[in-house]
Structure 1
Amino acid sequence: MLAIRLALGGAKKRPFYYLTVTDSRNPRDGSHKEHVGFFNPIACGQEVRLFVNQERIAYWMSVGAQPTARVTKLLKDSVNAAA
């Protein structure tokens, strides 16, 4: 089963998350099919906090990928921010 979930990146005390499409059985930071965005929870100033490639998310969801609870919330936030 495909999952759209967060993969941890960044440095110590500076988390950075990639929105990835992966098999749900893979480890959190393991192999993935595609990066479809990112989330920077500590962005400040002009830095981009959230980027989501809506077209690719729609494609992966059409072929059966299920977003996690946190990713679902981020997707809703990205749609509200765009409006």
Structure 2
Amino acid sequence: MAVKIRLKRMGKVHAPYYRIVVADSRTKRDGRAIEEIGKYHPTQQPSVIEVNSERAQYWLSVGAQPTEQVMALLKLTGDWGQFKGDKNAKSTVKTAEPKVP
């Protein structure tokens, strides 16, 4: 079975958010997933990217192929660098500053 790590679209018409899922490559974009490993909210400032690093590393190690969009997100979180053997790979995701009351 060919397995891909890809984005599953959720949300409303003009307010999308995505789940990062592991799915069979033959299923529909928003179809059944094998496992959900993260979230991506592009409309928030800054964008929210949450990835379960341990599960992403596992699926990459057993041969799951990430799509281009997911690979870009994994590079931002540092997971792609860790998979490729870079010990110094760090997350470059910007975090929102806490709101001051």
Map 1:55-74 → 2, pairs under 5 A: 55-74=54-73
TM-score of the pair, normalised by structure 2? 0.74
Q: CA RMSD in A?
A: 1.4
Unaligned runs of 5+ in 1: none
CA-CA distance at 1:61 after TM superposition: 1.0
Identity percentage over the alignment?
41
CA-CA distance at 1:44 after TM superposition: 2.7
Which portions of structure 1, spanning 4 or more consecutive aligned residues, are displaced by more than 3 angstroms? none
> 1:16 — aligned with what?
17
CA–CA separation in structure 2 for the residues paired with 1:44 and 1:62:
32
CA–CA separation in structure 2 for the residues paired with 1:35 and 1:81:
22
TM-score of the pair, normalised by structure 1? 0.89
CA–CA separation in structure 1 for the residues paired with 2:27 and 2:44:
28
